[in-house]
A = this chain, B = another copy of it.
Amino acid sequence: MGSNSFGSVFRFTTWGESHGKEIGVVVDGCPPGLEISRERIQEALDARKPGGSAQVSPRMEEDRVEIVSGLFDGVTTGAPIAMRIANRDVDSSSYERAKSVLRPGHANFTWLKKYGIFDYRGGGRASARETAARVAAGAVAEALLESEGISIIAELVQVGDARGKEMGRRIERAMTEGDSVGGVVEVRCLGVPSGLGDPIYEKLEAKLASAMMSIPATRGVEFGMGFEAVTMRGSEHNDAFIKSDRIRPESNMAGGIQGGISTGEEIVVRVAFKPTSSISKMQNSVDIHGESVEIAMGRGGRHDPCVALRGAPVARAMAQVVLADCLLIQKSVCNISSRVVSHEL
């Protein structure tokens, strides 16, 4: 339980609101003996921070991370690793004006329905700012994955219906028009050994799908050939096995996962992000009393025309944590069974 935690053995918990004092995260279950520097975490955060390009929100956070526990002489000790990022640039005056408005595409309506109370300043806890904490946790996971030769890449591969160089222009055009546009992020996991993920309900796809759909603004997730597999025949989609240096699937339609367990091939996940909800175009809505209002959210505020751009490092971080978790779970299985079972493969 705990809706602000993610992972089972490698597990993190986040806190903090968009316009509160800080965003924080505590990582539990990280093995001892890993070298983790503040710089590693900072570097990961810099890759997602706002203000980095013309295409993302001009909010001028430094996003400077502080590691407050869990390290001794720069090495993990098995104790929980807590990290915090102060919120320095907290101008919530623009939110004050519109605090009773039910913003189209935003979560304040459902939070009010659920909790009867909502920290309206900048989206509060529902803000994408929470994802900075995920990136910090992902950077810790990355240190563990690196020690096992696993690396993860995430990139924007589609904006609107454009792929490739055309993508940037779509973002610019949406921005010019005071509007926003959706995108697809592709995550690829390299060097993953076979055997990660657990059958039935803890399948690698199930865990990755849960991880990706927990990112704000995501609308779908697919693996390998994904939705395109629907239009294929079994004879096309089945990955036959061959023997080269080792036995392996010849093709990788499955995207590196078979029966919920990694095959040893590249894992391929794609995540669909909706167009950013906060746009400067005028929109109609009502306030919490049901009175009609017009609202332009992105005008005085600070928003991105394509939230998928900043979704890429977050999707990467979530994949890092999922794989670190699966890796630790798998260690116990194979450490026991290697003594008893002879692997013929």
Contacts and interface: CB of A to CB of B under 8 A. Distances in A.
A93 interface: no
Contact of A181 (B20, B183, B233, B340): B233
Interface in A1-57: 1-6, 8-9, 11, 13-17, 20-22, 24, 26, 28-29, 31-34
A222 B272 contact: yes
Given A14-B80, A17-B69, A214 B234 contact: no
A293 B332 CA distance: 34
A320 interface: no
Interface in A89-148: 102, 104-107, 109-119, 124-126, 130, 144, 147
| Identical copies of this chain, number | 4
A112 to B, nearest CB: 5
A81 B98 CA distance: 25
Contacts of A283: 235, 238, 240
Contacts of A224: 219
Given A32-B341, A161-B231, A258-B107, A79 B15 contact: yes
Contact of A260 (B77, B107, B194): B107
A258 B110 contact: yes
A213 interface: yes
Contact of A6 (B3, B201, B207): B201
A212 interface: yes
Given A2-B29, A284-B240, A16 B69 contact: yes
Nearest to A272: B227
A302 interface: no
A229 B333 contact: no
A68 to B, nearest CB: 5
Nearest to A174: B233
B339 A238 contact: no
A150 to B, nearest CB: 13
A22 to B, nearest CB: 6
A77 B220 CA distance: 29
Nearest to A17: B69
Nearest to A67: B21
A152 interface: no
A184 to B, nearest CB: 6
A234 B181 contact: yes
Contacts of A225: 219, 274
B213 A212 contact: no
Interface in A210-246: 210-214, 216, 218-227, 229-243
Given A227-B219, A233-B179, A68 B16 contact: yes
Given A16-B69, A79-B119, 7 more contacts: A14-B80, A15-B68, A33-B341, A104-B238, A107-B261, A181-B234, A234-B276
23 contacts: A1-B8, A1-B9, A3-B200, A6-B201, A16-B69, A16-B82, A31-B336, A72-B118, A77-B125, A78-B199, A78-B337, A104-B239, A109-B258, A110-B263, A112-B343, A130-B200, A159-B230, A180-B234, A182-B237, A221-B221, A230-B272, A237-B277, A241-B285
